């Protein structure tokens, strides 16, 4: 078995970046999407939690779950294009989320 490197745990400050309602919504979304689509969440829950925090933060800020794994010069413009809306094209292609 390959040992996974240590990953920082999400802190309360990290979680406070998004509303509890959006956090709950995004946890439900990623869990249901993985189950229904045959895709996989990261085996380290901490990585998935950081992703969920980013998605929830974007829902609060932009109204859409823009993938938090990429850099955007203009997040609002990217959200309108829908290319990087979760589940993004990379997720759909490779069936794996960070």
The question of whether 67 is a catalytic residue gets the answer no
Catalytic option among 69, 86, 88, 97: 69
The per-residue b/e assignment along 22-47, b for 16 or more CB within 10 angstroms, e otherwise, is bbebbeebbeeebeeeebebbeeeeb
Catalytic site residues? Answer: 69
């Amino acid at each position: 078995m390959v040992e996974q490197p240590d990953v920082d745990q999400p802190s309360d400050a990290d979680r406070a970046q998004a509303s509890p309602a959006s956090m709950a919504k995004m946890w439900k979304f990623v869990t249901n999407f993985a189950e229904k689509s045959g895709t996989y969440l990261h085996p380290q829950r901490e990585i998935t939690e950081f992703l969920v925090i980013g998605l929830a933060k974007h829902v609060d800020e932009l109204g859409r779950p823009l993938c938090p794994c990429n850099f955007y010069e203009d997040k609002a413009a990217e959200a309108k294009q829908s290319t990087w809306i979760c589940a993004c094209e990379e997720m759909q292609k490779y069936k794996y989320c960070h």
